[in-house]
Amino acid sequence: NDRLNGSLVASYVYLSMAFWFDRADMALPGFHKYFLAASHKARNEAEAIMKYMNKRGGYIRLKNLKSPITVWRDGLKAMEYALGMEKDLNKNMLKTHTVASNDPHVTHFLEDRFLETKVDVIKELGEYVTRLKSFTKDYSLGEY
């Protein structure tokens, strides 16, 4: 259930980011598109977990979602936040994998659907953060 709620929180945060960068005074369509896709992907992860839990006879317990940050100063700060969030989600997934080590079905599900994908997302976000940081002198131009 913690993994499920983590995916829902991530979807919510990414949705907040997406529509922050879609505002007329931000007008960064690339960031909007990236974060909107990330929101959909996180929600799909949550749905996959719920389907699997139902299939295995588990009980789904959704928690209240806290309001995410709604002001993202710039693309770099949002990407850095997303990178930290994905690292936390990955740690949680690895912890779940360890706890479920006696259940080959669960470990296979986690490995097949999430673990490698999370590493790819972390690498991608890390590369974006590195590239954006390389524009430190004229950072705002680097977003375009």
Residue-level pLDDT at 85? 97
Low-confidence residues of the chain: pLDDT under 70: 137-144
Please check whether residue 87 is in contact with residue 122, taking contact to mean a CB–CB distance below 8 angstroms. yes
**Sign of the CA dihedral with 45 first, then 15, 10, and 2 last:** negative
Q: Does domain 2-142 have CATH number 1.20.1260.10?
A: yes
127 annotated to a ligand binding site: no
pLDDT digits (tens, 9 = 90+) for 101-135: 999 999 999 999 999 999 999 999 999 999 998 88
Phi, psi for residue 67 in degrees, rounded to 5: -65, 130
CB atoms within 10 A of CB 67: 7
